[in-house]
Amino acid sequence: MILLTGGSGLLGTELQKYLNCYAPSHETMDITERYSVSSQFDLIAHCASYTDVAKAENDRETCYKTNVLGTKHMASLGIPIVYISTEYIFGGGKGNYSIDDSPDPINYYALTKLLGESMCSLAPSSMIIRCLFKPRPFKHSKACTDQWTTGDYVDKIAVIIAGIINGWNKKGHHVLHVGTERKSTYDLAKQSRPDVEPCLRSDIKSVKLPMDTSLQLNWRSNW
């Protein structure tokens, strides 16, 4: 049985269509507190996360507690863990990042997700999945033409992640880069919201956004 955190979130809701899992509510299991789990669970799919990139700049304590301490608590339970990270751990200066490239986050949200990755070493085995997913339809009225990603809509990314979770042998420590073809955020947005307006990253004042965090995908590899 899989313990799924963040079951009411964007990705967690979608993953429940494909996984045999138990997804407790936030009220039932607050990951920012130490928690013990039943021995019936043989895998943790850790999707719970503070994901508001702009708000994280001013709400750092909550973001840290959720993304870093929450992950530490989950990884310390002695159960193999799949941790959903983000392509934003890379600074965006070059794109096509491989798993061998050094992370260099440029905003606080990304920093906490990277620190969360480091917590996965506390688990007996781990699968870190770096990706980016958006709700369908795209929720913003504007999207950046000068920002590049291998992210996609959550329904597409969830199918890939579910396949990885269901096929993993729960051994070793691994990092996977998951996504689809490289495209601009604007081009992605137009797929589900034709009326979306173009903008530049410099137009967004609330947070510093990376230019090109596209990933060199390796999720088809043997692991």
CATH number of the domain that 48 lies in? 3.40.50.720
Range of the domain at 62: 2-203
Encoding tokens for residue 175? 């990092």
Q: Which residues pair with 81 in a beta bridge?
A: 44, 126
pLDDT of residue 219: 79
Percent of the chain whose pLDDT exceeds 90? 93
Tell me the C-alpha distance between 218 and 223, whole Å. 10
Q: Look up the pTM and report it.
A: 0.96
Q: For residue 21, what are the β-bridge partners?
A: 2
**Given pLDDT bands bounded at 50, 70 and 90, which one contains residue 222?**
very low
Give the tens place of pLDDT for each residue, 182-210: 999 999 999 999 999 999 999 999 999 99
89 inside domain: yes
Q: In angstroms, rounded to a whole number, what is the distance separating the alpha carbons of residues 55 and 74?
A: 24
pLDDT score of 126: 98
In a domain, 64, yes or no: yes
Q: Which residues contact 32 (CB under 8 A, 6 or more apart)?
A: 65, 66, 69, 70, 73
pLDDT confidence of residue 35: 80
Number of domain units in the chain = 1
- Is 52 part of a structural domain of the chain? yes
pLDDT digits (tens, 9 = 90+) for 75-128: 999 999 999 999 999 999 999 999 999 999 999 999 999 999 999 999 999 999
